[in-house]
Amino acid sequence: MKKIIFLLAILGISLAFGAGEFDNVGGVVDSFDKQVSTTSGAGLRILMGWLPLICMGAGLFLAIKHSKQQADQDKDNNKVFITSAIATIAGAIVGVLIDAGIGAVLLQDSMKGLKVLTDYWTSALNI
C-alpha cells in the first residue's frame, strides 16, 4: 500500500512539473535577485552617505562626555569646546576613511567608495 502511494506521488509530481506551470520560476527568481540587489545597493549607499555624519555625532558625544569630566576636575571650560571640535573633525575624517575602506573592499577601488559618498550628497542636495 505504501509503495502504491509513493508511486502515485511520484507520478503526480512528474505530471505537475511536465504541465508547464513551473516554466516561469526562473524568471521569478531572476526578478527577485535583481530586486534584492537594488535594495541592498540603496541601503549601502544610504549607509555610506550618512556614515561620516554618524561618526561626527559619535565623536562629539564621546568628546563631550569625556571632556566634561576632565573640565570639572581641571576647572577649565574651554577644554570642552576644544576637545569637542577636534573629536567632531576626527569623527568626520574617520567616517570618510571608512567609506574609502568599504569602497576598497567591496568595489576594489577606494575612490569609488568616496564617489558613492559624493554622488549621494550631490543628488540629495540637488546640485
**pLDDT tens-digit profile of 62-121?**
888 888 777 777 777 777 888 888 999 999 999 999 988 888 888 888 888 888 888 888
Contacts for 33-39: CB closer than 8 Å, 24+ residues apart = none
* Model pLDDT, residue 32: 66
Spatial distance between the Cα atoms of 45 and 92, rounded to a whole number of angstroms: 17
Grid coordinates representing 24 are: 516561469
What's the mean per-residue pLDDT of the chain?
79
- pLDDT value at residue 58: 92
**What's the rounded Cα separation, in Å, for the pair 95 and 49?**
9
Task: Report CA Rg, the chain.
Answer: 28
